[in-house]
Structure 1
Amino acid sequence: MRLGTIGAWCAAFTVAPAADARPAAREIEAFGYDTLWYPEGLGTRESFTNAAVLLAATDRIRVASGIANIWGRDGVSAANAARVLADAFDDRYLLGLGVSHPRQVDPRGHTYRRPVATMRAFLDAMDDDPFVSPDGAKVTRPPVPRILAALRPPMLRLARERALGAHTFLVPVEHTRRARDILGPAALLVVEQKVVLARDPVDARRRARGALAWYLDTPNYLDNLRWLGFAEADFARGGSDALVDALIVAGDEETIAARCDAHLDAGASQVAVQPLEEGDPFGRETLRRLASVLLDPRE
């Protein structure tokens, strides 16, 4: 699967009603973005049915789950759902899978543990994928294009071995370099990048810290940041300036473009920009303004 170098990542699609999501998806498609990434949380819109809404509302843009929580369905149902979406919408769907976090898993009645082993077993179930039908029909079972949410080396290696590649989230450019070294040259590497289109640095850091609060209380992200060399002091009081600036790029269009270029130079296949825009949860004004500097009309 070949991806364009710039996608759009928008958390609002995981909670927005269809009446709001459809026109927003069409507008982002019209801006020219290659892929529309959306998440799945505990108690939010279900990932596969949500993808169907977004795909049906659009004509060209690829729609990708970033991510579908593997604790929310079994491997066979995930494979079959992805095949239905690929068949119905001209292979515009990309399945992103992730192990999520204890606070998103344990309330479902599961016990979050052994994330890499659990993901491996889930992929095994997807690949075995039995077909049992009362009519005994013989059918061709096409493979399911998939990408894994991965931050640390064990999951990155699994993404290299068992998927098209990795989707990273809340990472600085240094992580992209390390991830590419682990993945090798052929795998996809899609990097989410939060952006604040603002000229006032005080306002930009305020918005950035507001977006970081949940993640700075989430062990998986903190462990990854420690691996990258950040210390406990960087996580206090909403995050140090160095941490905030490494994870979230704020400034004008050219500043944001430079950060995206840095990820691409470090080995990203695609950078999925996530606007932190006040007033519109879909970030459409930010995406509109960035399109002229980020998007190559030839893609």
Structure 2
Amino acid sequence: MTSKTREAYGQIGIWSGALHRSRADDAGKAAIAEAVAELDELGYGTLWIGGSPSADDAAAVVAATRTITVATGILSIWDHTAAEVAARIATLDASARDRFVLGLGVSHGPMVPQYAKPYSAMVAYLDALDSATPPVGAGHRVLAALGPKMLRLAADRTLGAHPYLVTAEHTAEAREALGPDALLAPELSVVLDTDLDRARSTARGMLARYLGLPNYTDNLLRLGFTESDFEGGGSTRLLDSLFALGDAEKVKDRTRQYLDAGADHVALQVITAEEGSAGLPRAEWRALAEAFGDEL
């Protein structure tokens, strides 16, 4: 596999947890294939498959696209062994493998019965990827890193970091921890709704489930938020720091804050009132592509 470069990700990508072909019926599989092919044509730099995908899910998205970089965002190291993942990646043809990036994470204690020593487990997983035949090398993997220790590991052993549910301030701190050369590709959740009260309500519907996961809340506490910010699905201050709310121009402005803070790439996750993060918001993806234009 040819090592990916930071530039290959583009500045703007799409993050979606609805691209799991393995969980879809025939109609769902067809809808996913059509949606990712359109995202490719719209010019986005990278497509992030969210919600703990498998290597099979990623392979299906790669097969349905032509040029876009495809990344798992993220594959849980507890759900799939390194040997299994490396073997599946090895079945892709050469051009497909060169467009694929393995995003890895340690998930969360409340979701994983065997969760223990996550940092050591990640180191062992990376070692296993290095020794696989063929290996999945550092230039084709990123880590879902939040804290300083995991960010340093991302810089040392992978192309960089893909932090989820973070502020622009965290992005600045992550850039400092990673150094100037590592990829930094945070996720940014988006609600395209000019009614801010309604947009915040939609955002709370998505955020509430993450506020029960210590890895996220501990990170937010490090950033200066308090326990009171986690009540009721999230305070206005928390929502306005974590989300891009409003029209496409507001999304562009918020995205620019992350890029100015040191991000190389921002992965936009569109949240809708009707489907939350579970649907394929193709109209919103088109609207954002039009708004960003040549910046994609």
TM-score, normalised relative to structure 1: 0.89
Following the alignment from structure 1 to structure 2, what is the Cα–Cα distance between the partners of residues 209 and 200? 14
Question: Displacement, 1:59?
Answer: 1.1
Question: Displacement, 1:85?
Answer: 3.3
Following the alignment from structure 2 to structure 1, what is the Cα–Cα distance between the partners of residues 92 and 253? 35
Residue 100 (structure 2) aligned to one of 79, 87, 93? 93
Question: Displacement, 1:252?
Answer: 1.2
Question: Displacement, 1:265?
Answer: 0.7
Give the AA of the match of 2:137.
Answer: P
Counterpart mapping for 1:8-157 below 5 A = 8-14=14-20, 15-16=23-24, 17-41=28-52, 47-85=54-92, 87=94, 89=96, 91-106=98-113, 111-129=114-132, 131=133, 143=137, 145-157=140-152
Residue equivalent to 1:205: 200
Looking at CA atoms only, which structure, 1 or 2, has the larger radius of gyration? Answer: 1
Residue equivalent to 2:285: 287
Residue equivalent to 1:136: none
Question: Displacement, 1:183?
Answer: 0.2
Residues 199 and 220 of structure 1: is their aligned pair in 2 closer, same or farther, counting only changes over 3 Å? same
SS at match of 2:225: coil
Give the AA of the match of 1:150.
Answer: A
Q: Contact conserved, 2:129 with 2:135, CA < 8 A, in 1?
A: no
How far does the alpha carbon of each residue in 1:36-86 deviate from its partner, in whole angstroms, 9 at most, with x for none? 101244xxxx51111111111111111110011111122222233334336
* Unaligned segments of structure 2, at least 5 residues: none
Following the alignment from structure 1 to structure 2, what is the Cα–Cα distance between the partners of residues 112 and 87? 34
Residues 180 and 101 of structure 1: is their aligned pair in 2 closer, same or farther, counting only changes over 3 Å? same
TM-score, normalised relative to structure 2: 0.90
Q: How many residues align?
A: 281
Residue equivalent to 2:183: 188
Residue equivalent to 1:137: none
Moved over 6 A (4+): none
Q: Contact conserved, 1:33 with 1:295, CA < 8 A, in 2?
A: no
How far does the alpha carbon of each residue in 1:108-131 deviate from its partner, in whole angstroms, 9 at most, with x for none? xxx2011111101111111122x5
Following the alignment from structure 2 to structure 1, what is the Cα–Cα distance between the partners of residues 117 and 247? 42
Q: Contact conserved, 1:6 with 1:295, CA < 8 A, in 2?
A: no
Following the alignment from structure 1 to structure 2, what is the Cα–Cα distance between the partners of residues 227 and 103? 20
How far does the alpha carbon of each residue in 1:9-44 deviate from its partner, in whole angstroms, 9 at most, with x for none? 011113543122111111222221111101244xxx
Residue 177 (structure 1) aligned to one of 169, 172, 180? 172
Following the alignment from structure 2 to structure 1, what is the Cα–Cα distance between the partners of residues 135 and 39? 32
Residues 84 and 143 of structure 1: is their aligned pair in 2 closer, same or farther, counting only changes over 3 Å? farther
* Unaligned segments of structure 1, at least 5 residues: 132-139
Give the AA of the match of 2:82.
Answer: G
